[in-house]
A = this chain, B = another copy of it.
Amino acid sequence: MAKQARAVATRQQIITGAARMFEQSGFEGASLGDIVDGAGTTKGALYFHFRSKDELAKVVIDEQHQTSISTVHEIAKTGAGALRQLVMLCHEMGRQIVHDPVVRAGLRLTLEFSGTVGPDQPYLDWIDSCRKLVDTGVEHGEISASVDSDTLARYIVGAFTGVQLVSQVLARREDLEQRIDEMWTYLLPSIATTRDAAELADIRASRWTPPESSTPTAESGS
Chain A residues near B (Cβ < 8 Å): 23-24, 26, 28-29, 108, 111-112, 114-118, 120, 123-124, 151-152, 154-155, 157-163, 165-170, 172, 179, 182-183, 185-191
A152 touches B115 (CB 8 A): no
Given contacts A158-B159, A161-B162, A191-B186, contact A170 B24 (CB under 8 A): no
Cα of A83 to Cα of B167 in the assembled complex, Å: 24
Query: Which of B154, B158, B161, B166 interacts with A157 by CB under 8 Å?
Result: B166
How far is A108 from B123 in the complex, measured between Cα atoms in Å?
A: 18
- A112 neighbours in B (Cβ, 8 Å): 26, 112, 115
A159 partner residues in chain B, CB cutoff 8 A: 155, 158-159, 162-163, 183
Q: What is the CB-to-nearest-CB distance from A167 to chain B, in angstroms, rounded to a whole number?
A: 8
**CB–CB A115/B26 < 8 A:** yes
CB pair B169 A123 closer than 8 Å:
yes
User: How far apart are the CA atoms of A180 and B49 in the complex, in Å?
Assistant: 44
A154 (CB) vs chain B CBs: closest residue: B166
What are the residues of chain B within 8 A of A165 when measuring CB–CB? 111, 114, 158, 161-162, 165
CA distance A14 to B212 in the complex (A): 55
Question: Contacts A26-B115, A112-B112, A160-B162; is A155 near B169 (CB within 8 Å)?
Answer: no
Decide if B166 touches A183 in the complex (CB within 8 Å). Answer: no
CB neighbours of A191 from chain B (8 A): 186
Q: Nearest-CB distance from A62 to chain B (Å)?
A: 17
Say whether B163 contacts A158, CB under 8 Å. Answer: yes
